[in-house]
Copies of this chain bind each other. A is one copy, B any other.
Amino acid sequence: MVAEKVDLIVFGEKILPAAGGEILSGHGVAVAGARIRAVAPLVELRQRYPGVAELGLDRGLLMPGLINMHTHAPMSCYRGLADDLPLMRWLEDYIFPAEAELTPEVVYWGAKLSMLEMIRSGTTSFCDMYLFSREVARAAVDVGMRGWLGEVLYDFPSPCYGPPEEGLKLVRAMAVEMADDPLINIVVEPHAVYTCSPGLLVASHDLAREFDLPWIIHLAENREETKTVNGRYGKSPAVHLAGLGLLDNRTIAAHCVTISAAEIALFAETGVNVVHCPESNMKLASGVAPVAAMVAAGVNVSLGTDGSASNNDLDMFGEMASAALLQKVGRLDPTLLPSRTALAMATVNPAAALGLAGKLGVIAPGALADIIVLDMNAPHLTPMYDVASHLVYAVRGGDVIHSLIGGRVVMRDRRIIGVDEAEVMARVNGFARDIAALF
């Protein structure tokens, strides 16, 4: 019998195949092309696939790469430009004037910088909303990162595509062009209920349905948004969407802080997916999203960092901790959002939201080979009674040692492969000098 072709065997001391699942010891993962071929005892794999290259860590933990479900990757250029300000002052005095100078070049390099940070902290897939998204896609291809990317749509002219009607055309063109890309997935992204007319919302949802794409929107982020939308339509943001027939399982709603119990029930019934962004919600003082209630009601909730201008990092390990801690203190109940739930929100839940349950966010035969290996042999991770507890409450992005995306090694021994990190940082530092000069 001829052995099947395998490109790489990846291993750690332990493997976490899926959030909440059993831990494997002494196992390895055989990777063929972009996918996982087998998960089996390491000795067995070595016999079955002799002479295959290996990448591992004797005291390491192998697990699925994390999925950051809400980013504005190019905004790394504005990280720490202004903090501790009221939302409208932050936006109107800093972010909007800075974004008025936006060029495709700034988007490309800013996005690339964020991808380096994400890979370094264990994220292998991200779901991004920004302007000039073709540049974000180009950066993702150059870095080798898996992205769900969309061009932000709204009722006013865009520095990228000009008049509003051109936005849908651009997204349609990108969806056609990139339909077979192994890393890039196009999504349809109306900005929010208060920046998009009902017509644009419906037309964009039609486009998403036509191409079978996720439809992603900021929803009910804070009290001001809910007040504005109520004033305009006499309805909350979620009820407004429901009235337009836009709540279904291709809908991915970011934030959902000011959401009622009735709206949670509506989300559960219609299959709407939610993305929780705890650190951004905290920093911008938006409030505490009722995540535990959503999870209890059966809503599929994922995690995102939001942009690094309002976070100010993209570390999904830290974000899992923040999600668990915020929910407990926000509801004065330490049992809410336990570590396994937080872990699911960064792995299997986003995979389900993106229609890839069992193919992404897990270590299993046939799944995409998006794999990270962490060093657990460190004082801050000693001792280890429970892997899930450590992954949420004690591991941080810097503990990730190796990373594979689609079977390709993108980080080995904390060295990024195939990207000149110094060049990326120098480019963004150059843009930052121009940005700082605006203020």
Contact = CB atoms under 8 A, between A and B. Distances in A.
Nearest to A330: B329
Interface residues of A, number: 76
A417 to B, nearest CB: 14
Contacts of A113: 379, 382
B285 A331 contact: yes
Given A83-B339, A116-B379, A339-B84, A334 B393 contact: no
B393 A329 contact: no
A154 to B, nearest CB: 24
A117 interface: yes
Contacts of A296: none
A114 B378 CA distance: 11
A382 B339 contact: no
A147 B377 CA distance: 26
B84 A380 contact: no
Interface string A88-112: 0010000000000000000000000
A436 interface: yes
A36 B389 CA distance: 41
Interface in A408-439: 421, 424-425, 428-429, 431-432, 435-436
Contacts of A279: 325
A326 B399 CA distance: 25
Given A379-B424, A383-B428, A398-B398, A335 B84 contact: yes
6 contacts: A117-B380, A282-B329, A283-B324, A308-B394, A329-B330, A382-B429
Given A81-B385, A396-B398, 4 more contacts: A83-B386, A84-B328, A285-B336, A382-B428
